[in-house]
Amino acid sequence: MRKRPGLASMLAVYRRELLSYLTTPTAYVFVAVFLFAIGLFTFNIGGFFEARRADLTAFFAFHPWIFMVFLPAIAMRLWAEESRSGALELLLTLPAPTWALVAGKYLAAWTIAAAALALTAPLWITVNILGSPDNAAIFTAYLASLLMAGAYIAIGSAMSALTQAQIVAFVLAVLISFLLTALGLPLVLDFFSGAIGGGAAETIARFSLLHHFDAAQRGVVEFRSVFYFVSLIALCLGFTVLAVDARRGG
């Protein structure tokens, strides 16, 4: 009866979720705030013009910090809203595997993040008008940023599956995202190397999103960073599946 069990359900859930983002105003508001914030940080704090370099270092450097707040806001509704409205019962009584529901919703939120990122393209065009940047490096940094966005959304998805209240999901996701990001700050690492030694501090840094985004934003792709982001996404989505399935237990 079903040719591709799961896949068809995933695509249907993806389409519905994306449509829901596009027909409600919140996603537009969040994307607008994101674009405003990224502009503010790049030009005012990052000193884009003052640096007098045709690159996007000032732009990418702030991605982890803005994503940390923006993406949990996009992801917070994914599961919390379903259980609040009762529509979770509709989804869980469909003959679909839970992973398909989780993946469909996750990919829809990621698509919104990708669209927001794509809307920053004028900046890329601008540096090309102002000078001759290393476009391959910028492209790589964009890909890394997209992958990192996927990790933040996966964290948001997992937190959303834990609660009926979007705001709780948001706060939890920002908190975890902040911890995972800030672990890579020199300030934090200095503290750890003082307390437990440099080797241990380096190990801790390997768990930081910031650490893995650092090399990538300069245009260098490291396998272990890709591996880190992909495993973090898989881990969070696996957790989401478990949390959603746990609802069946009552």
Partner 1 sequence: MLLQVEGLRKTFGRRVAVDGIGFSLDVGEIVGFLGPNGAGKTTTMRMIAGYLEPDEGAAKIFNINVTQDRRRAQERLGYLPEGAPLYGEMTPWSFLRFIAEARGMSREAARHAVRRAAQDARLGDSITRPIDTLSKGYRRRVGFAAALLHDPMLLILDEPTDGLDPNQRQAVRDLIRKLGEERGLLISTHMLEEVEAVCTRAIVIDRGRIVADRTPQALIEEHGTLERAFAALTRGEERV
Question: Smallest distance, Å, CB 214 to partner 1?
Answer: 40
Convert residues 97-116 into a mask of x (bound to partner 1 by CB under 8 A) and - (unbound). x-------------------
Under the binding rule (CB under 8 A), the answer on residue 125 touching partner 1 is no
Determine the length of the chain.
250
Instruction: Give me the DSSP letters along 173-224.
Output: HHHHHHHHHHTTSHHHHHHHHHHH-HHHHHHHHTT-HHHHHHHHTTT---HH
Report the residue number, 7 or 185, with the smaller CB distance to partner 1: 7
Site for partner 1 contains 5 (CB under 8 A) = yes
Of 33, 54, 92, 119, the residue at the interface with partner 1 (CB under 8 A) is: 92
Q: Are 109 and 17 in contact (CB under 8 A)?
A: yes
b/e per residue 207-231 (b: at least 16 CB within 10 A): ebbbbbbbebbebeeeeebeebbee
Which range in 88-96, 106-114, 148-156, 196-204 contacts partner 1 by CB under 8 A?
88-96
Instruction: Tell me the H-state helices in the chain.
Output: 7-23, 25-40, 57-60, 63-75, 77-85, 87-92, 98-118, 121-130, 135-160, 166-182, 186-196, 198-205, 209-216, 223-246
9 binds partner 1 (CB under 8 A): yes
- Count of residues near partner 1 by CB under 8 A: 31
CB of 85 or CB of 135, closer to partner 1: 85
By CB under 8 A, is residue 40 in contact with partner 1? no
Task: Single out the residue of 52, 95, 122, 224 in contact with partner 1 (rule: CB under 8 A).
Answer: 95
Instruction: Check residue 242 for interaction with partner 1 (CB under 8 A).
Output: no
Contact residues toward partner 1 (CB under 8 A) are 1-5, 8-9, 11-13, 15-16, 19-20, 23-24, 85-87, 89-97, 248-250
